[in-house]
């Protein structure tokens, strides 16, 4: 049958696919070299419980049965060819399983006896997807600043953590981000928010300065002796 016909829509009778036809409506069984239709075959015993059995004892397939009418019965083009496993009479639920391939036919007057030649259609190759894991780089400098850079595709994510706990995360496209120990950041044409000292250490230093200043004032006063 023509390649435009979906094999899953076929029904079958005792002599092959229905309705039988030739030319643009080609629907014919396969034939052996002796011109016998290859139909009503049984499979071998299943090799595994519940599995399918092999198709054994299959004869050599030939298109010579069409004789000089070959180009009229099978016009040049691509056709489906295969085997079908059916259950019962022709109906919408008759088809159980089928195995399909495609062949391209051409008219060749030099071919005898049918005047046609054929070539198998090569099956398509499944698409392949390649996934690359992100590159992760972590750098820690003496001042306690940790910079983690994750590169995935064209995006670069940089996370900078200062010893006091402050964290800055920057996402840039197609740029390499670097962080200096002082907390400032620079990139090729891009800038990253500076990360100064953390607020908690600053508060502690301010409190200590306040205490020391108060003590200096008290120590600078003359000592009063009460009798």
Q: What DSSP line would sit under the chain, residue for residue?
A: -BTTS-GGG-EEETTEEES-B-GGG-B---BBTTS-B--S--PPPPSSTT-PPP--SPPPB-SGGGGGGHHHHS-SEEEEEEEEEE-SSSSTT-EEEEEEEEEEEEE-TTSSSSSEEEEEPPPPPPP-----PPEEEEEE-TTS-EEEEEEETTEEEEEEE-TTS-EEEEEEES--EEE-TTS-EEESS-EE------HHHHHHHHHHHHHHHHHHHHHHSPPP---
Q: Where are the domains of the chain?
A: 7-44+54-120, 135-194
Q: Under a CB-based contact definition with an 8 Å cutoff, are residues 137 and 179 in contact?
A: no
pLDDT at residue 171, rounded to an integer: 58
**Parallel/antiparallel/unpaired status of strands 16-18 and 185-187:** unpaired
Is the link from the previous residue into 55 a cis peptide, with omega within 30 of 0? no
pLDDT of residue 24: 94
Given this model, what pLDDT does residue 186 score? 43
Local mean pLDDT, 10-residue blocks, the chain (227 residues): 95 94 96 93 86 86 94 96 93 93 96 94 64 57 57 60 58 48 43 49 67 64 57
With b meaning 16 or more CB within 10 Å and e meaning fewer, what string describes 184-214? ebebeeeebeebeeeeeeeeeeeeeeeeeee
Q: What is the pLDDT of residue 5?
A: 95
**Residues written for the chain:** 227
| Residue 164 Ramachandran class (φ > 0 left, ψ -120 to 50 alpha, else beta) | alpha
Structure token digits, residue 17: 């696919």
Are the C-beta atoms of residues 107 and 122 closer than 8 Å to each other?
Answer: no
The predicted pLDDT at position 42 comes to: 86
Please choose, from the candidates 96, 123, 118, the residue with its C-alpha nearest in 3D space to the C-alpha of residue 107: 118
Sheet holding 167-173, edge to edge: 135-140, 146-152, 155-161, 167-173
What is the spatial distance between Cα 19 and Cα 26, in angstroms, rounded to a whole number? 9
pLDDT of residue 1: 94
Strands 77-86 and 146-152: unpaired
């Amino acid at each position: 049958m023509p390649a435009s016909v979906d094999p899953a829509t076929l029904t079958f009778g005792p002599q092959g696919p229905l309705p039988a036809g030739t030319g643009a409506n080609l629907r014919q069984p396969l034939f052996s070299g002796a011109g016998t239709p290859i139909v009503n075959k049984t499979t071998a015993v299943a090799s595994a419980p519940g599995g399918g059995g092999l198709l054994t004892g299959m004869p050599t397939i030939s298109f010579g049965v069409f004789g000089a009418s070959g180009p009229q019965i099978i016009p040049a083009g691509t056709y489906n060819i295969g085997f079908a496993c059916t259950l019962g009479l022709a109906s919408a639920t008759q088809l159980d399983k089928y195995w399909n391939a495609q062949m391209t036919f051409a008219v060749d007057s030099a071919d005898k006896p049918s005047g046609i030649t054929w070539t198998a259609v090569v099956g398509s190759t499944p698409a392949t997807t390649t996934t690359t894991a992100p590159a992760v780089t972590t750098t820690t400098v003496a001042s306690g600043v940790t910079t983690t850079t994750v590169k995935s595709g064209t995006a670069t994510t940089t996370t900078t953590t200062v010893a006091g706990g402050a964290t800055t995360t920057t996402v840039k496209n197609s740029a390499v981000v670097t962080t200096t120990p002082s907390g400032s950041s620079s990139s090729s044409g891009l800038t990253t928010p500076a990360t100064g000292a953390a607020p908690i250490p600053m508060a502690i230093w301010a409190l200590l300065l306040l205490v020391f200043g108060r003590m200096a004032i008290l120590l600078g006063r003359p000592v009063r002796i009460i009798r």
